[in-house]
Every structure is written in structure tokens, then in C-alpha cells.
Structure 1
Amino acid sequence: MKTLLKCAFAATVGFLLAGCGDDVGKVSLGLFTTKDVIIDAKHDPKIPGVTCHISRIEANLDFADPSDMGISCRQTGPINAADLAKIDLGKHGEVIFTESLSILFKSLKVRRIYDAQNQTLLYLSYSTKETNGSHKHALSTVPLYGSAAWVDPALSAGTKAN
């Protein structure tokens, strides 16, 4: 009985510790390559109801990882007006996540920008180093429609007219 309890405890602790990181998945690109696709989950620090999944290439034997990446952000919890009050509403938004991709200067950044006209959060992931004449980037959006932060345009237009 004690052995069974110890095994159950060890399995539970291992499971809980595995959930602490943001590493969601890792896919090998083939038998004869040292490159893998890494999938991370990142939570917006000021809007906890948004989770972004970022996929990128990890080259284990290179000094720098490739610049290509993908991003998909979704509402995974409540978003309210108090959350929006905490964010930078300017056209440049704010960087919410940075990760180094090389020993020197290349990094992956995720920037949140608020599109007030369409009531949508934009999440732009991009590489800070130019590759083949281009800065690699990807975009994902989280519309606020259906959340507590969404304001009916007809109602807001009516209050502006008064």
C-alpha cells in the first residue's frame, strides 16, 4: 500500500511540474536533421484571458535559430474593461514577450497593439534580425466581441451624440 501511495504521489508531482512550463509541444523535422518545431504557450501579462501559441524552429547545433515563426492567439478566459485600461493603447502598442534566438542580436518579440475601431487585440510576432532582405513576422487577432470589454458601437455612438 505504501509503495502504491509513493508511486501515485510521484506521478502527481511529475504531472504538476510538467504543467509549470510554457512548452506545449516539440516536433522533430526528420531523422537526419537536428531541427525541431517548438510550440510555446504565452499568456498576455496584462490581459490574462488571452493565450498565444507560438511555433518556431529550434536548431540544436546552430548558433542561431531560424527566424520563421507562427502565432495564434485566442481568448482563453474573461477579458474586461479593467484589463484594457492597463494596456498601451498607442499605435505602436507594447512588447509583451521577448526570447533570444541567437548568441548575438537576434530575438523573437511579441507585441500587442489595440485596434480601437474594430475592438480587437492584435498580436504581432517578429524577428529583430533581417533575413534574406525581410524581417520575418506573423499576426494573430483576438476580437473582443462577446467579452465584457466589448462596447456596442451603436451605444457608444449614441453617447457621443449627446
Structure 2
Amino acid sequence: MRMIFAALLMLPALARAEEIAQIGVDWMGNDIVIEAIADPEVGGVTCHLAYFERSVLDRLSQGNWFEDPSNSAIQCSRTGPVDVGALRPGQPADVFSEGRSLLFKSLRVKRIYDAENRVLVYLAHASELGEGSAKMSMSTVPLLAEDKGARPAR
């Protein structure tokens, strides 16, 4: 049991989302939810993630009770000083994950540090056990010369 607990502590910390808005889109009670996600490893970057949340009426009428659609949109912005010194270029890292079905589907945000072009890339995508999803959204945050750990311009 101690080994499992120790292994869980070694996993990278994922960001927590803070819901900032919920917008009703139809008479059935379906909503678009917008959440703010601060990057836990970089600091100075906040992403806003929007996704569709189905209502009980929609779930009953569609017959798919336990699942929300994979659609999402993401936009990330600089909100303070950025420190990329601890990041490994080209290595995708999990920033956020949230379940979108009872068991096997999740909405994920990954970060990739493109050191050559001095950009942080954030990708929102769905992940399913049996198959991937082509539904994705991407946002970039350009790094400035004064950002800690950023390579100088070419």
C-alpha cells in the first residue's frame, strides 16, 4: 500500500479548473462551460477551456446517458512572468484532465515546449479507451527574451 501511495505522489500534479462561466445554449438545458486553468509547472500562463455539457433532457432523448461530446476549444494567454527552465523541449506534458463519460473518455490539455521557435503549445483533445478522437483545439503562447529559461532568438 505504501508503494502505491508513493507512486501516486510521484505523478505530476495536474492543474485544477476554475469554472468562470456557464452559458445556456438551447431550451433543453445544454450548456457551454468555460473554465480557467493555470499551468501548474510553468506559471504565468492561463488557459481558458470551453466545452459542451449535455443536460438530463438531452441525455434521455439521445439515449447516451453517460457521455458528453468531445468538442472543446482552448485559448491560452500570458498572465505573468513565464519560467520554462524546468521544461524539456518537445516532450508533451499533461496539464489538465477531466472525465467526459462514466469510465473511458476524458478531455485533456497537454503542453509542448517548442524551444527552437520559443513558443509554448497547448493542445486540448479527447481521449477514449478504444479509439482516439480527431476533435482538438490548439493555442500557443510566444516566449519573450526576458522569460526565464527561454532560448535567445536565432
Decide: shared fold, TM above 0.5. yes
Equivalent position amino acid for 1:42 in 2:
I
- Identify the residue that residue 24 of structure 2 maps to in structure 1: 28
1:69 is aligned to 2:72: yes
Q: Secondary structure at the match of 2:134?
A: coil
Take 1:135 and 1:92, find their aligned partners in 2: how far apart are those partners?
A: 21
Give the Å deviation of 1:92: 3.7
| Conserved? CA contact 1:51–1:75, under 8 Å | yes
- Identify the residue that residue 110 of structure 1 maps to in structure 2: 109
Superposed CA deviations along residues 117-139 of structure 1, whole A, max 9, x for unmatched, are 11000000000139xx8421110
Identity of aligned residues (%): 37
- Identify the residue that residue 84 of structure 1 maps to in structure 2: 84
Give the Å deviation of 1:90: 4.5
| Conserved? CA contact 1:128–1:135, under 8 Å | no
| Conserved? CA contact 2:118–2:142, under 8 Å | yes
Q: Which has the higher helix share?
A: 1
TM-score by length of structure 2 reads 0.75
TM-score by length of structure 1 reads 0.71
1:47 is aligned to 2:42: yes
Equivalent position amino acid for 2:76 in 1:
C
Runs of 4+ in 1 over 3 A off after TM superposition: 149-152
1:60 is aligned to 2:45: no
| Conserved? CA contact 2:145–2:153, under 8 Å | no
Superposed CA deviations along residues 131-152 of structure 1, whole A, max 9, x for unmatched, are xx84211100000025423443
| Conserved? CA contact 1:71–1:140, under 8 Å | yes
Equivalent position amino acid for 2:85 in 1:
A
Take 2:102 and 2:92, find their aligned partners in 1: how far apart are those partners?
A: 27
Alpha-carbon RMSD: 2.1
Take 1:153 and 1:71, find their aligned partners in 2: how far apart are those partners?
A: 27
Take 2:124 and 2:80, find their aligned partners in 1: how far apart are those partners?
A: 21
Q: Secondary structure at the match of 2:84?
A: helix
Structure of higher RCO (CA pairs closer than 8 Å, 6+ residues apart): 2
